[in-house]
Structure 1
Amino acid sequence: MDELAIVQMKDTIFNHWKKIIIIAAASIIAVGLYFILPPLLHGQDGGQIPLPSSPAEPAPADEPEEAISLRISAVGDVMAHKSQLTAQYDSSTGTYNFDNNFQYLIPYINQADLALFNLETTFAGGTYTGYPAFNAPESLASAMKNAGFDVALTSNNHIMDKGLAGMKRTLEMTRKAGLNTAGTRLDGEKNYTIVEVKGVKIGVVAYSYETPKVGGVPTINGSHIAAEAWPLLNTFSYWNLDQDLLKVKQSIQDARADGAELVICYYHWGEEYQRSPNDYQQNIARQTAGFGADIIFASHPHVLQGMELLTDASGKKVPVYYSMGNLISNQRLETLDNRYTEQGMIAEVDLQYMKSTKQILTIDMKAVPTWVDKYKKNGKDVYAVIPLDSTMSTNQTLAESGHLSRAQQALTDIKTLLGEEYIRSAP
């Protein structure tokens, strides 16, 4: 074989193996890519990693706003006559305790998001007294707090029974017990209060009636009031009503400007022992609804009066309780020959409030009838406020006192006055 032929044969062999090597290398690369490339395109757990050009995931839509459900409850006059003070005194400790008076109310008051009452006494310190100049132990405030109440209204015809010092100490002791106050104030304070409940700011405005002037000087409960006290009291007069109601309107507007989303007005008004509202009360209620109040509660007549759902000019519904009667007192059949003074209610307003639109979507008004039982046990008087509901027949106090029939009569009276459609009969 010549030299040229040998060279050509070597080239042929070289090219043959070159092709084999290239094919083998390509195969190895293909196999490698088969196993290596997928992990590069996926997460370690197999979840896909978005490529840079992938569009962003759409943000989840906002949850729709839900209305806030609120129950606002109120009761009438909390009084402390001399016989009540004697009944609540513990001679072994030298202290006063009123907790047992309100034990049966707790299931109802605890269901309220905000609960109010009229404090018809003072906590002036010193000697405790009943009618006509009330001054009770401040443990009464603690008992109301223990029962679940939140706000004490102090604008009434007995708040000045122990003068300006007594009024101021009443506020201090009531607040010390953990209660908010409205209706009277200390120097420099606003003439309303705002309480926040479930994120909703609720303003409370409270006003009481004045009695006629004596010697040209205005009075409360017929007594002269020191000039320096008047700026600390929320009052109105029937003989200058339209002008004085502008103060109520201003209080509502000020509370709104201060952030109140709902406003409650609590009045001390009307005629004692009258079981229906008078023209003044109805006129005040309508004007107050027009001023922007959302709920109107009231006391002073010491007996129950009717309920009404007003409609203001904008179509908004405004519940009015013209008198919630006595929550507790010694005014009763045996002392006044008047069984209606033993009767009261827990007023309940249920509403749905939408914060974004500042609107009340729905509102409903009800009442839990109450009755004050009084009987002797171990030589002492026992007082207890009894809800007149489906538990009446098994109530321990009524069983001990034997007064179930009187409680049943009270329930009949209240249903007749208010209407059965407003009565709540179970806790």
Structure 2
Amino acid sequence: MLNQTQSKKITLAATGDILLHKRLYKKAKKRLKGGYNFDEMLSEAKPLFENGGDITIVNQESIIAGEEIGLSDYPRFNSPIEIGYLLKDFGVDIANLANNHILDKGEEGIIKSIENWNEIGIPYVGAYNSQEDQETPRIIEKNGLSVCFLSYTKRMAGMKIPKDKSYLVNTFEDTKVGNIRKEINAIKKSHKVDVFVVSVHFGKEYHLLPTSAQKEISASISDAGADIILGHHPHVLQPPEYILNSRGLRTFSAYSLGNFFSGQKGLYRQIGAFMTVDIEKPSESNPVLKIDNPAMKLTFVDSTDKENYKLYLLEDIVKEREFIKTHMGNFNSKEVYEEIKTHLTRWIPDMTIS
């Protein structure tokens, strides 16, 4: 049993978007008659999940309501259930659901998707099937630390949440994050929480740097009590940074974790990351968290032809190929590798990128 003076430490792992375009699940169907098998396409990712962190969260950008209500991709996504079972096999601890595609199949899609997450056995956050579900904090205990996960989306792709069912999706408007602050404060009063991790769906698609609104929102969420911010929506990796807030505390903000596994084409849309960060609570008498050692293991979803769409480690691509082929042309692999590492360490120069 940990005592009052003993340090408590975990490593949090996180990925960007898992967004299953038709070209991905069509290939997966070829590998399993009567179902979908993503094992080979994501075989290189499995060791990352198995060795990466004490708690792992993924951003499941597309609902997994399955064939029962019809699979589909852009602009209204619905994915095979099997991707969830693979994530369970990988050891994923929680799935983030609040995003601009969560209502792509309406209330029916959310409810069916949540039924599937429950059947798979992976907790979820950001979308809910009832008021009670929404009001139940997502807290994971590990190594003596209580980690609470919250999730919100700013955009809904033009879809409207039913007025009498606002619990379906956690949202916020513009740069106003008062509801996030209220939720954090309410949870603090009713539960012992050491760490707050807030996933946020915001920003501009394909922008390699966070917008001023992203920075403003993140600063407000930091001041509201978030210790770690995990950003999604731009579909490209943006450089993270530490935010010093008015309480004198630091928040680690990963403004965008980009795409992890998707069918999008475009050099930086195909580069993703498996990110880890260490969280330490020195002692009960000194509860100020130490959040350090951020690291990213870069990945690349190869789409050189329509039969591929396999995830590789970017460092392996660089070792094996002089050029990275995309639909826009060929790019020198070493130059791309160095460029993305320089880009991602813009505000945290000593961050490990590999």
Match among 296, 301, 304 for residue 237 of structure 2: 304
The aligned residue for residue 352 of structure 2 is 423
CA deviations over 1:81-125 (Å, ceiling 9, x no partner): 011111100366211011223322233322301111111111223
Q: Counterpart amino acid of 2:344?
A: L
Q: Counterpart amino acid of 1:318?
A: T
Counterpart contact for 1:115–1:151, Cα < 8 Å: yes
Please tell me whether residue 70 in structure 1 is matched to residue 13 in structure 2. Answer: no
The aligned residue for residue 119 of structure 1 is 60
Q: Counterpart amino acid of 2:235?
A: H
Aligned-partner Cα distance in 2 for 1:305–1:424: 13
Aligned-partner Cα distance in 2 for 1:194–1:308: 25
Paired residues for 1:271-286 under 5 Å: 271-286=204-219
Structure number with greater CO (CA < 8 Å, separation at least 6) is: 2
When the two structures are superposed, what TM-score results if normalisation uses the length of structure 1? 0.73
Please tell me whether residue 364 in structure 1 is matched to residue 293 in structure 2. Answer: yes
CA deviations over 1:128-149 (Å, ceiling 9, x no partner): 1111111111101111222232
Aligned-partner Cα distance in 1 for 2:56–2:308: 25
Please tell me whether residue 382 in structure 1 is matched to residue 308 in structure 2. Answer: yes
The aligned residue for residue 182 of structure 2 is 250
Please tell me whether residue 293 in structure 1 is matched to residue 226 in structure 2. Answer: yes
The aligned residue for residue 19 of structure 2 is 79
The aligned residue for residue 94 of structure 1 is 34
Match among 180, 189, 211 for residue 133 of structure 2: 189
Deviation at residue 371 of structure 1 after TM alignment: 1.4
When the two structures are superposed, what TM-score results if normalisation uses the length of structure 2? 0.87
Paired residues for 1:374-413 under 5 Å: 374-375=303-304, 381-389=307-315, 391-392=316-317, 408-413=334-339
Q: Counterpart amino acid of 2:133?
A: E
Aligned-partner Cα distance in 1 for 2:31–2:201: 35
The aligned residue for residue 170 of structure 2 is 234
Off by >3 Å, runs of 4+ in structure 1: 62-65, 391-395, 401-410
Aligned-partner Cα distance in 2 for 1:146–1:92: 17
How many residues were matched structurally? 339
Deviation at residue 154 of structure 1 after TM alignment: 0.5
Aligned-partner Cα distance in 2 for 1:91–1:384: 13
Deviation at residue 409 of structure 1 after TM alignment: 4.7
The aligned residue for residue 117 of structure 2 is 174
Aligned-partner Cα distance in 2 for 1:64–1:208: 37
Counterpart contact for 2:239–2:343, Cα < 8 Å: yes
Deviation at residue 168 of structure 1 after TM alignment: 1.3
CA deviations over 1:347-404 (Å, ceiling 9, x no partner): 211122235233314533222222111355xxx7232222234x55667xx79x9899
**Structure 2 segments unaligned to the other structure (5+ residues):** none
* 1:66–1:124 CA distance, 2 compared to 1 (3 A): same
The aligned residue for residue 222 of structure 1 is 158
The aligned residue for residue 4 of structure 1 is none
CA RMSD in angstroms comes to 2.5
Counterpart contact for 1:343–1:410, Cα < 8 Å: no
Q: Counterpart amino acid of 2:34?
A: G
Deviation at residue 159 of structure 1 after TM alignment: 0.6
Counterpart contact for 1:154–1:182, Cα < 8 Å: yes
Deviation at residue 264 of structure 1 after TM alignment: 0.2
* 1:362–1:140 CA distance, 2 compared to 1 (3 A): closer
Aligned-partner Cα distance in 2 for 1:99–1:387: 16
Counterpart contact for 1:354–1:360, Cα < 8 Å: yes
Q: Counterpart amino acid of 2:120?
A: A
Please tell me whether residue 414 in structure 1 is matched to residue 346 in structure 2. Answer: no
* 1:84–1:314 CA distance, 2 compared to 1 (3 A): same
Match among 248, 260, 274 for residue 193 of structure 2: 260
Counterpart contact for 1:77–1:117, Cα < 8 Å: yes
Aligned-partner Cα distance in 1 for 2:238–2:277: 17
Please tell me whether residue 341 in structure 1 is matched to residue 265 in structure 2. Answer: no
Counterpart contact for 1:204–1:264, Cα < 8 Å: yes
Q: Say which structure is richer in helix.
A: 1
Aligned-partner Cα distance in 2 for 1:122–1:145: 16
The aligned residue for residue 145 of structure 2 is 200
* 1:144–1:161 CA distance, 2 compared to 1 (3 A): same
Deviation at residue 164 of structure 1 after TM alignment: 0.5
* 1:410–1:141 CA distance, 2 compared to 1 (3 A): farther
Match among 33, 42, 46 for residue 106 of structure 1: 46
Counterpart contact for 1:255–1:263, Cα < 8 Å: no
Aligned-partner Cα distance in 2 for 1:413–1:393: 13
Aligned-partner Cα distance in 2 for 1:143–1:63: 37
Deviation at residue 317 of structure 1 after TM alignment: 2.0
CA deviations over 1:230-283 (Å, ceiling 9, x no partner): 222100111xx33xx111111212332322211101100001111111111101
